[in-house]
């Protein structure tokens, strides 16, 4: 029986259930992407029926994630893993920080991407851990403040099997199945930005977790290529003998925590200091392992994240 690669970097993305959303792609580095989750394999584009194009419809959306209060703060992260995995990863962080500031912080796991996206855009989350493009958007639109980030750069690679000589350029993947995660995952947005025509793009095969993305290419051979964070790719044993890098995205700041306006400046400072402390390193070990954060966490600045919401500018629901 073939041995599968194991890693702690199994980070799932999300599913939009039965809702099909559309996106208009333009020829910029900020590729559109409203997720289309009709089947596991799909193109990524069409125009939303709402003429405004600014906000997702709220009818039928799970309203279980409520905005926090002065006494109860809500901590959120994208559904990149199962609910059980999300609770194991983030609940200890919420409990630790509750003790630090003397206020209750609850982790709310979103059932799917639409739930997370809607709750985030409404300002329902007081404390969030996710990608640099989302942090940048909250800075510009929700009065959030940067706290701490995972140390290291955040870049993605498009890899193909080493024994597959068909591809020498990423643009040759037009019409091919590419294992990855649905947009608006940053890696997917950055890669789709290389394809100016929404009718001539790869098909994204959505997977729950980076291990499954890698194995879908390297072992199962269900895709012609895969999109993976460089930090995660480097963790897979013998990856250099199985896959080769076809394309690398621009390096950006890493995953980070931001805090909303219901968290006071004093509590923001206490939370940030606690997260980068030795005790905080123990509490966040599982979370950091998933994002290649072995070097720990460091203070994040507004300057390094400002403007990165350009990756979302053509994504339905993020225009304001």
Inside any domain, residue 189: yes
Inside any domain, residue 172: yes
Strand partners, 88: none
Residue 194 structural domain: 153-248
Range picked from 48-52, 97-101, 205-209, 231-235 for highest mean pLDDT: 97-101
Identify the CATH number of the domain in which residue 186 sits.
Answer: 3.40.190.10
Q: What is the mean pLDDT of residues 3-19?
A: 37
Inside any domain, residue 203: yes
Inside any domain, residue 36: no
Does the structure show a pLDDT above 80 at 314?
no
Inside any domain, residue 51: no
Please, are residues 135 and 256 in contact by the beta-carbon 8 Å criterion? Answer: yes
Confidence of residue 196 (pLDDT cuts 50, 70, 90): confident
Number of domains into which the chain is organized: 1
Determine phi and psi for 311, rounding to 5 degrees. -65, -15
Q: What is the mean pLDDT of residues 54-65?
A: 41
Inside any domain, residue 147: no
Digit-coded pLDDT (tens) for 238-287: 899 999 999 999 999 999 999 999 999 999 999 999 999 999 999 999 99
Count CB neighbours of 84 within 10 A.
9
Inside any domain, residue 228: yes
pTM for this entry? 0.74
Give the contacts of 113 (CB within 8 A, at least 6 positions apart).
Answer: 13, 14, 15, 16, 35, 37, 78, 79, 182
Inside any domain, residue 200: yes
């Amino acid at each position: 029986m073939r041995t599968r690669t194991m890693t702690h970097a199994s980070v799932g993305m999300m599913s939009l259930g039965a809702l099909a959303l559309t996106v208009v792609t333009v020829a910029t580095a900020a590729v559109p992407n409203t997720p289309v989750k009709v089947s596991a394999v799909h193109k990524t584009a069409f125009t939303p029926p709402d003429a405004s194009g600014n906000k997702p419809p709220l009818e039928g959306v799970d309203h279980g994630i409520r905005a926090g209060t002065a006494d109860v703060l809500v901590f959120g992260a994208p559904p990149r893993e199962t609910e059980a995995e999300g609770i194991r990863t983030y609940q200890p962080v919420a409990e630790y920080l509750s003790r630090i500031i003397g206020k209750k912080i609850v982790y709310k796991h979103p059932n799917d991407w639409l739930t997370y996206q809607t709750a985030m855009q409404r300002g329902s989350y007081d404390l969030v851990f996710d990608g640099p493009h989302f942090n940048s958007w909250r800075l510009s639109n929700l009065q959030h403040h940067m706290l701490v980030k995972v140390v290291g750069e955040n870049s993605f690679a498009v890899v193909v099997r080493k024994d597959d000589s068909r591809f020498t350029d990423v643009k040759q993947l037009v019409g091919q199945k590419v294992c990855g995660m649905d947009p608006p995952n940053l890696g997917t947005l950055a890669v789709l930005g290389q394809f100016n025509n929404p009718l001539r793009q790869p098909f994204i095969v959505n997977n729950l977790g980076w291990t499954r993305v890698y194995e879908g290419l390297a072992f199962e051979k269900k895709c012609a290529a895969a999109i993976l964070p460089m930090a995660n790719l480097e963790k897979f044993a013998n990856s250099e003998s199985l896959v080769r890098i076809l394309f690398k995205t621009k390096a950006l700041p890493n995953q980070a925590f931001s805090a909303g306006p219901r968290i006071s400046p004093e509590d923001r400072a206490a939370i940030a200091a606690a997260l980068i402390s030795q005790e905080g390193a123990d509490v966040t070990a599982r979370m950091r392992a998933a994002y290649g954060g072995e070097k720990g966490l460091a203070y994040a600045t507004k300057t390094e994240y400002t403007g990165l919401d350009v990756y979302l500018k053509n994504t339905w629901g993020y225009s304001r």
